[in-house]
Amino acid sequence: MSTARPLESEPSATGIAAPFSVEYRYGDAAQLLAQDSENLLAVVEFGADVGRINEDPRQISVALEQVGDKPLLEIWRSTLPVEHGFKNGVAFARNEHILVGQLVLNENDYPSLDEAAFEAYQRILAFQRNQGYKHALRMWNFFPDINVGDADDERYRQFSLGRARTFEQFRHFERALPAASAIGSYRSGLLIHFVAARTPGVQIENPRQVSAFHYPRQYGPKSPSFSRAKLKDWADESQLYISGTASVVGHESVHLDDVEAQTEEIGRNMQALLDEAARHQPRFSKARLDELSLLRVYLRPHHGNVDTIREYIQRWSGPNVPMVFLEGDICRQDLLIEIEGYYQLPF
Ligand code: 3EB
Protein backbone atom coordinates (compact mmCIF):
# COMPACT_ATOMS: atom_id res chain seq x y z
CA MET A 1 0.00 0.00 0.00
CA SER A 2 1.29 3.46 -0.81
CA THR A 3 0.96 5.93 2.02
CA ALA A 4 0.68 9.43 0.70
CA ARG A 5 -0.89 10.95 3.76
CA PRO A 6 -3.09 9.68 6.59
CA LEU A 7 -6.80 10.07 6.02
CA GLU A 8 -8.31 12.99 7.85
CA SER A 9 -11.41 13.06 9.98
CA GLU A 10 -14.76 13.55 8.33
CA PRO A 11 -15.48 17.14 7.37
CA SER A 12 -18.98 18.43 6.71
CA ALA A 13 -20.37 17.88 3.23
CA THR A 14 -20.38 21.57 2.43
CA GLY A 15 -17.20 23.07 1.15
CA ILE A 16 -15.71 19.91 -0.31
CA ALA A 17 -14.65 20.34 -3.91
CA ALA A 18 -15.26 17.39 -6.24
CA PRO A 19 -12.54 14.92 -5.23
CA PHE A 20 -12.17 13.29 -8.65
CA SER A 21 -12.93 13.50 -12.35
CA VAL A 22 -13.66 10.80 -14.95
CA GLU A 23 -12.73 10.62 -18.62
CA TYR A 24 -12.37 8.19 -21.51
CA ARG A 25 -8.96 8.08 -23.10
CA TYR A 26 -7.07 5.84 -25.44
CA GLY A 27 -4.22 3.96 -23.79
CA ASP A 28 -2.94 0.89 -22.01
CA ALA A 29 -4.17 0.42 -18.44
CA ALA A 30 -1.09 -1.27 -16.96
CA GLN A 31 1.22 1.19 -18.63
CA LEU A 32 -0.75 4.20 -17.44
CA LEU A 33 -0.71 2.86 -13.89
CA ALA A 34 3.00 2.13 -14.07
CA GLN A 35 3.79 5.65 -15.26
CA ASP A 36 2.15 8.66 -13.74
CA SER A 37 -0.07 6.87 -11.29
CA GLU A 38 -0.02 9.04 -8.21
CA ASN A 39 -3.46 10.54 -8.63
CA LEU A 40 -5.21 7.60 -10.23
CA LEU A 41 -8.13 6.05 -8.36
CA ALA A 42 -9.10 3.57 -11.08
CA VAL A 43 -8.38 2.67 -14.66
CA VAL A 44 -11.13 0.54 -16.18
CA GLU A 45 -10.18 -1.47 -19.25
CA PHE A 46 -12.50 -3.54 -21.43
CA GLY A 47 -11.87 -6.55 -23.63
CA ALA A 48 -12.67 -10.23 -24.01
CA ASP A 49 -9.13 -11.19 -23.04
CA VAL A 50 -8.22 -8.69 -20.32
CA GLY A 51 -6.59 -9.92 -17.10
CA ARG A 52 -8.51 -10.65 -13.98
CA ILE A 53 -7.36 -9.27 -10.66
CA ASN A 54 -4.24 -7.30 -11.36
CA GLU A 55 -1.14 -6.47 -9.40
CA ASP A 56 -2.33 -2.90 -9.12
CA PRO A 57 -5.67 -2.75 -7.27
CA ARG A 58 -6.74 0.21 -9.35
CA GLN A 59 -6.69 -1.70 -12.63
CA ILE A 60 -10.26 -2.89 -13.23
CA SER A 61 -10.61 -5.38 -16.08
CA VAL A 62 -14.09 -5.85 -17.49
CA ALA A 63 -14.40 -8.89 -19.79
CA LEU A 64 -16.58 -7.31 -22.45
CA GLU A 65 -15.42 -6.79 -26.02
CA GLN A 66 -15.11 -3.13 -26.89
CA VAL A 67 -16.38 -2.39 -30.38
CA GLY A 68 -16.15 0.62 -32.60
CA ASP A 69 -13.31 3.04 -31.96
CA LYS A 70 -9.85 2.24 -30.78
CA PRO A 71 -10.05 0.87 -27.24
CA LEU A 72 -10.75 3.51 -24.62
CA LEU A 73 -10.00 3.39 -20.91
CA GLU A 74 -12.24 4.87 -18.24
CA ILE A 75 -9.91 6.87 -16.04
CA TRP A 76 -10.83 8.02 -12.53
CA ARG A 77 -8.45 10.75 -11.42
CA SER A 78 -8.25 12.09 -7.88
CA THR A 79 -7.71 15.73 -7.00
CA LEU A 80 -6.32 14.66 -3.61
CA PRO A 81 -3.65 12.21 -2.42
CA VAL A 82 -4.53 8.55 -3.01
CA GLU A 83 -3.93 5.43 -0.93
CA HIS A 84 -4.49 2.01 -2.44
CA GLY A 85 -4.24 -1.64 -1.52
CA PHE A 86 -6.02 -4.96 -0.99
CA LYS A 87 -8.08 -5.88 2.04
CA ASN A 88 -10.34 -8.91 2.60
CA GLY A 89 -10.13 -9.63 -1.10
CA VAL A 90 -11.31 -6.13 -2.01
CA ALA A 91 -8.95 -4.12 -4.21
CA PHE A 92 -9.36 -0.44 -3.43
CA ALA A 93 -8.14 3.11 -3.82
CA ARG A 94 -9.33 6.04 -1.79
CA ASN A 95 -8.80 9.69 -1.10
CA GLU A 96 -10.15 11.77 1.74
CA HIS A 97 -13.69 11.70 0.37
CA ILE A 98 -14.27 8.74 -1.92
CA LEU A 99 -13.50 5.05 -2.10
CA VAL A 100 -13.25 3.13 -5.38
CA GLY A 101 -12.91 -0.64 -5.38
CA GLN A 102 -13.50 -4.01 -6.94
CA LEU A 103 -14.12 -7.57 -5.85
CA VAL A 104 -13.80 -10.67 -8.02
CA LEU A 105 -15.32 -13.90 -6.72
CA ASN A 106 -14.89 -17.37 -8.13
CA GLU A 107 -18.41 -18.73 -8.44
CA ASN A 108 -17.15 -22.27 -7.94
CA ASP A 109 -16.35 -21.37 -4.34
CA TYR A 110 -20.08 -20.93 -3.66
CA PRO A 111 -23.03 -23.30 -3.88
CA SER A 112 -24.96 -20.94 -6.16
CA LEU A 113 -24.83 -17.55 -7.83
CA ASP A 114 -27.37 -16.35 -5.29
CA GLU A 115 -24.89 -17.20 -2.51
CA ALA A 116 -21.94 -15.69 -4.38
CA ALA A 117 -23.84 -12.42 -4.89
CA PHE A 118 -24.95 -12.41 -1.27
CA GLU A 119 -21.38 -12.91 -0.08
CA ALA A 120 -19.96 -10.32 -2.49
CA TYR A 121 -22.39 -7.65 -1.31
CA GLN A 122 -21.85 -8.57 2.33
CA ARG A 123 -18.14 -8.07 1.91
CA ILE A 124 -18.34 -4.91 -0.16
CA LEU A 125 -20.88 -3.12 2.02
CA ALA A 126 -18.98 -4.13 5.18
CA PHE A 127 -15.76 -2.92 3.62
CA GLN A 128 -17.29 0.44 2.68
CA ARG A 129 -18.56 0.89 6.23
CA ASN A 130 -15.34 -0.18 7.90
CA GLN A 131 -13.39 2.25 5.76
CA GLY A 132 -15.78 5.07 6.64
CA TYR A 133 -17.33 5.45 3.19
CA LYS A 134 -20.72 4.01 3.94
CA HIS A 135 -22.66 5.71 1.14
CA ALA A 136 -22.60 3.54 -1.96
CA LEU A 137 -23.00 5.79 -5.00
CA ARG A 138 -22.44 3.45 -7.93
CA MET A 139 -22.03 -0.32 -8.46
CA TRP A 140 -21.22 -2.30 -11.61
CA ASN A 141 -21.92 -6.05 -11.79
CA PHE A 142 -20.53 -8.47 -14.41
CA PHE A 143 -20.91 -12.25 -14.58
CA PRO A 144 -21.31 -14.78 -17.38
CA ASP A 145 -24.46 -16.41 -18.77
CA ILE A 146 -26.74 -13.79 -17.28
CA ASN A 147 -29.77 -15.02 -19.25
CA VAL A 148 -29.18 -18.75 -18.69
CA GLY A 149 -31.80 -20.61 -16.65
CA ASP A 150 -35.57 -20.67 -16.77
CA ALA A 151 -37.97 -18.40 -14.93
CA ASP A 152 -36.79 -17.84 -11.34
CA ASP A 153 -33.67 -19.89 -12.03
CA GLU A 154 -32.42 -17.39 -14.58
CA ARG A 155 -28.98 -16.34 -13.42
CA TYR A 156 -29.80 -12.61 -13.39
CA ARG A 157 -32.71 -13.33 -11.07
CA GLN A 158 -30.53 -15.48 -8.82
CA PHE A 159 -27.96 -12.71 -8.70
CA SER A 160 -30.69 -10.19 -7.83
CA LEU A 161 -31.87 -12.50 -5.06
CA GLY A 162 -28.48 -12.64 -3.35
CA ARG A 163 -27.89 -8.91 -3.74
CA ALA A 164 -31.33 -8.13 -2.29
CA ARG A 165 -30.77 -10.44 0.68
CA THR A 166 -27.79 -8.28 1.62
CA PHE A 167 -29.43 -4.89 1.09
CA GLU A 168 -32.54 -5.98 3.00
CA GLN A 169 -30.49 -6.24 6.17
CA PHE A 170 -30.31 -2.47 6.29
CA ARG A 171 -33.22 -0.40 7.50
CA HIS A 172 -34.74 1.89 4.86
CA PHE A 173 -32.41 0.39 2.29
CA GLU A 174 -34.81 1.40 -0.49
CA ARG A 175 -33.89 5.03 0.13
CA ALA A 176 -30.15 4.47 -0.06
CA LEU A 177 -29.63 2.26 -3.07
CA PRO A 178 -26.74 2.97 -5.42
CA ALA A 179 -27.03 3.50 -9.14
CA ALA A 180 -26.00 0.27 -10.91
CA SER A 181 -25.48 -1.76 -14.03
CA ALA A 182 -25.62 -5.57 -14.38
CA ILE A 183 -24.31 -7.10 -17.58
CA GLY A 184 -23.45 -10.58 -18.83
CA SER A 185 -19.71 -10.93 -19.43
CA TYR A 186 -17.60 -13.48 -21.28
CA ARG A 187 -15.64 -14.99 -18.48
CA SER A 188 -16.30 -16.97 -15.35
CA GLY A 189 -16.28 -15.07 -12.11
CA LEU A 190 -18.36 -12.33 -10.57
CA LEU A 191 -16.77 -8.88 -10.87
CA ILE A 192 -18.25 -6.01 -8.92
CA HIS A 193 -16.68 -2.58 -8.96
CA PHE A 194 -17.97 0.39 -7.02
CA VAL A 195 -17.70 4.00 -5.87
CA ALA A 196 -18.67 5.03 -2.34
CA ALA A 197 -18.46 8.30 -0.44
CA ARG A 198 -18.26 9.50 3.14
CA THR A 199 -21.32 11.68 2.63
CA PRO A 200 -24.61 10.59 1.04
CA GLY A 201 -25.90 11.22 -2.45
CA VAL A 202 -29.54 11.68 -3.40
CA GLN A 203 -31.41 8.77 -4.91
CA ILE A 204 -33.21 9.63 -8.15
CA GLU A 205 -36.04 7.51 -9.56
CA ASN A 206 -37.57 7.77 -13.03
CA PRO A 207 -41.26 8.76 -13.06
CA ARG A 208 -41.65 6.93 -16.41
CA GLN A 209 -40.58 3.66 -14.80
CA VAL A 210 -41.58 1.59 -11.82
CA SER A 211 -38.64 1.70 -9.43
CA ALA A 212 -36.61 -1.47 -9.96
CA PHE A 213 -36.83 -2.30 -6.24
CA HIS A 214 -40.63 -2.32 -6.67
CA TYR A 215 -40.76 -4.49 -9.81
CA PRO A 216 -43.62 -7.00 -9.56
CA ARG A 217 -43.05 -10.68 -8.77
CA GLN A 218 -43.04 -11.76 -12.44
CA TYR A 219 -39.42 -10.55 -12.79
CA GLY A 220 -38.03 -12.78 -10.09
CA PRO A 221 -38.12 -13.80 -6.42
CA LYS A 222 -36.58 -10.48 -5.28
CA SER A 223 -36.67 -7.15 -7.05
CA PRO A 224 -33.36 -5.70 -8.25
CA SER A 225 -31.63 -3.49 -5.67
CA PHE A 226 -30.63 -0.32 -7.48
CA SER A 227 -31.74 3.26 -7.99
CA ARG A 228 -32.20 4.80 -11.44
CA ALA A 229 -29.59 7.45 -10.72
CA LYS A 230 -27.65 9.00 -7.89
CA LEU A 231 -27.03 12.72 -7.52
CA LYS A 232 -23.96 13.92 -5.64
CA ASP A 233 -23.32 17.57 -4.88
CA TRP A 234 -19.85 18.91 -4.20
CA ALA A 235 -18.86 22.51 -3.51
CA ASP A 236 -17.91 23.20 -7.11
CA GLU A 237 -19.99 20.75 -9.15
CA SER A 238 -22.93 18.37 -9.14
CA GLN A 239 -22.54 14.84 -10.44
CA LEU A 240 -25.21 12.47 -11.67
CA TYR A 241 -24.49 8.75 -11.96
CA ILE A 242 -27.08 7.28 -14.32
CA SER A 243 -27.73 3.55 -13.98
CA GLY A 244 -27.82 1.22 -16.92
CA THR A 245 -30.94 2.52 -18.67
CA ALA A 246 -32.98 0.35 -20.98
CA SER A 247 -36.14 0.46 -23.05
CA VAL A 248 -38.36 -0.13 -20.04
CA VAL A 249 -41.56 1.86 -19.50
CA GLY A 250 -43.53 1.18 -16.36
CA HIS A 251 -42.00 -2.19 -15.57
CA GLU A 252 -42.23 -3.65 -19.08
CA SER A 253 -39.68 -3.95 -21.84
CA VAL A 254 -40.96 -2.09 -24.90
CA HIS A 255 -40.06 -2.11 -28.61
CA LEU A 256 -39.07 -5.77 -28.65
CA ASP A 257 -36.75 -6.69 -31.52
CA ASP A 258 -36.28 -3.03 -32.51
CA VAL A 259 -32.92 -1.66 -31.46
CA GLU A 260 -33.62 1.73 -33.05
CA ALA A 261 -36.82 2.25 -31.08
CA GLN A 262 -35.19 0.88 -27.90
CA THR A 263 -32.40 3.43 -28.28
CA GLU A 264 -34.94 6.26 -28.70
CA GLU A 265 -36.80 5.11 -25.60
CA ILE A 266 -33.54 5.15 -23.63
CA GLY A 267 -33.09 8.78 -24.67
CA ARG A 268 -36.52 9.61 -23.24
CA ASN A 269 -35.69 7.78 -20.01
CA MET A 270 -32.39 9.65 -19.67
CA GLN A 271 -34.09 13.00 -20.27
CA ALA A 272 -36.63 12.07 -17.59
CA LEU A 273 -33.76 11.43 -15.17
CA LEU A 274 -32.23 14.84 -15.89
CA ASP A 275 -35.65 16.43 -15.31
CA GLU A 276 -36.03 14.52 -12.07
CA ALA A 277 -32.51 15.49 -10.95
CA ALA A 278 -33.49 19.14 -11.53
CA ARG A 279 -36.27 18.78 -8.95
CA HIS A 280 -33.61 17.93 -6.35
CA GLN A 281 -30.81 20.18 -7.61
CA PRO A 282 -32.15 23.15 -9.62
CA ARG A 283 -28.80 23.54 -11.37
CA PHE A 284 -29.75 20.45 -13.38
CA SER A 285 -32.60 22.36 -15.04
CA LYS A 286 -30.03 23.60 -17.53
CA ALA A 287 -28.50 20.13 -18.00
CA ARG A 288 -28.93 18.70 -21.48
CA LEU A 289 -28.32 15.25 -22.88
CA ASP A 290 -25.80 16.65 -25.35
CA GLU A 291 -23.64 17.73 -22.42
CA LEU A 292 -23.37 14.33 -20.78
CA SER A 293 -19.79 13.67 -19.68
CA LEU A 294 -19.74 9.98 -20.63
CA LEU A 295 -21.90 7.16 -21.90
CA ARG A 296 -21.16 3.43 -21.62
CA VAL A 297 -23.25 1.58 -24.19
CA TYR A 298 -23.89 -2.16 -23.77
CA LEU A 299 -25.02 -4.01 -26.89
CA ARG A 300 -26.37 -7.52 -27.05
CA PRO A 301 -24.04 -9.25 -29.54
CA HIS A 302 -25.29 -9.69 -33.12
CA HIS A 303 -28.16 -7.23 -32.74
CA GLY A 304 -27.02 -4.26 -34.70
CA ASN A 305 -24.11 -2.46 -36.19
CA VAL A 306 -22.20 -0.13 -33.89
CA ASP A 307 -22.05 2.76 -36.36
CA THR A 308 -25.79 2.64 -36.92
CA ILE A 309 -26.45 2.52 -33.20
CA ARG A 310 -24.10 5.44 -32.60
CA GLU A 311 -26.23 7.43 -35.04
CA TYR A 312 -29.41 6.51 -33.19
CA ILE A 313 -27.86 7.62 -29.90
CA GLN A 314 -26.53 10.83 -31.39
CA ARG A 315 -30.08 11.84 -32.35
CA TRP A 316 -30.54 12.64 -28.66
CA SER A 317 -26.94 12.96 -27.41
CA GLY A 318 -25.61 15.08 -30.26
CA PRO A 319 -22.15 14.47 -31.71
CA ASN A 320 -19.87 15.35 -28.80
CA VAL A 321 -20.60 13.00 -25.91
CA PRO A 322 -17.73 10.51 -25.37
CA MET A 323 -18.96 6.91 -25.59
CA VAL A 324 -17.63 3.41 -25.28
CA PHE A 325 -19.45 0.52 -26.92
CA LEU A 326 -19.28 -2.86 -25.21
CA GLU A 327 -20.71 -6.20 -26.26
CA GLY A 328 -22.53 -7.93 -23.46
CA ASP A 329 -25.80 -9.60 -22.60
CA ILE A 330 -28.47 -7.36 -21.14
CA CYS A 331 -30.21 -8.71 -18.06
CA ARG A 332 -33.61 -9.19 -19.68
CA GLN A 333 -33.69 -11.45 -22.71
CA ASP A 334 -35.87 -8.99 -24.64
CA LEU A 335 -33.56 -5.99 -24.22
CA LEU A 336 -31.01 -5.37 -26.96
CA ILE A 337 -29.26 -2.29 -25.62
CA GLU A 338 -28.62 -0.60 -22.30
CA ILE A 339 -26.85 2.71 -21.74
CA GLU A 340 -25.41 4.21 -18.58
CA GLY A 341 -24.18 7.74 -18.13
CA TYR A 342 -22.28 10.18 -16.04
CA TYR A 343 -23.01 13.89 -15.88
CA GLN A 344 -20.51 16.28 -14.38
CA LEU A 345 -22.07 19.71 -14.00
CA PRO A 346 -19.58 22.37 -12.92
CA PHE A 347 -21.00 25.53 -11.33
C1 3EB B 1 -33.96 -2.40 -16.02
O2 3EB B 1 -34.32 -1.22 -16.16
C3 3EB B 1 -32.87 -2.86 -16.88
O4 3EB B 1 -29.81 -5.22 -11.79
O5 3EB B 1 -28.24 -3.77 -11.35
C6 3EB B 1 -30.41 -1.87 -15.41
C7 3EB B 1 -29.47 -1.37 -14.51
C8 3EB B 1 -30.93 -3.14 -15.24
C9 3EB B 1 -29.07 -2.13 -13.42
C10 3EB B 1 -29.19 -4.18 -12.06
C11 3EB B 1 -30.51 -3.88 -14.13
C12 3EB B 1 -29.58 -3.40 -13.23
O13 3EB B 1 -34.51 -3.15 -15.21
C14 3EB B 1 -31.90 -3.74 -16.20
Give the pLDDT confidence of 172-231 residue by residue, as tens digits. Answer: 999 999 999 999 998 889 999 999 999 999 999 999 999 999 999 999 999 999 999 999
Side-chain-side CA neighbours of 119 within 13 Å: the count stands at: 19
Which has the closest alpha carbon to 263: 335, 166, 167, 159? Answer: 335
Distance CA 275, CA 238 (A): 14
Give the pLDDT confidence of 249-291 residue by residue, as tens digits. Answer: 999 999 999 999 999 999 999 999 999 999 999 999 999 999 9
Give the pLDDT confidence of 143-159 residue by residue, as tens digits. Answer: 999 999 999 999 999 99
* pLDDT given for residue 14 in this prediction: 63
| Type of residue found at 92 | F
Spell 263-302 as b/e; 16+ CB within 10 A means b: bbbbbebbebbbbbbeeebeebeebebeebbbbbbbbbee
Residue of minimum CA distance from atom 3 in ligand 1: 246
- State the pLDDT confidence band at 2, using cuts at 50, 70 and 90: very low
Instruction: Check pocket membership of 164 for ligand 1, CB cut-off 6 A.
Output: no
Give the pLDDT confidence of 5-32 residue by residue, as tens digits. Answer: 333 333 445 689 999 999 999 999 999 9
Instruction: Check pocket membership of 226 for ligand 1, CB cut-off 6 A.
Output: yes
Instruction: Check pocket membership of 66 for ligand 1, CB cut-off 6 A.
Output: no
% of the chain at pLDDT higher than 70: 96
Q: Which domains does the chain have, with CATH numbers?
A: 5-346 (3.30.1330.40)
How far is the centre of ligand 1, averaged over its atoms, from the C-alpha of 37 (Å)? 33
Instruction: Check pocket membership of 184 for ligand 1, CB cut-off 6 A.
Output: no
Instruction: Check pocket membership of 101 for ligand 1, CB cut-off 6 A.
Output: no
* pLDDT given for residue 128 in this prediction: 98
* pLDDT given for residue 6 in this prediction: 37
**89 burial class (0-12, 13-18, 19+ CB within 10 angstroms)?**
middle
| pLDDT of 61 above 50 | yes
* pLDDT given for residue 15 in this prediction: 87
How far is the centre of ligand 1, averaged over its atoms, from the C-alpha of 219 (Å)? 11
| pLDDT of 131 above 90 | yes
Strand partners, 346: 237
Q: Averaged over 305-309, what is the pLDDT?
A: 96
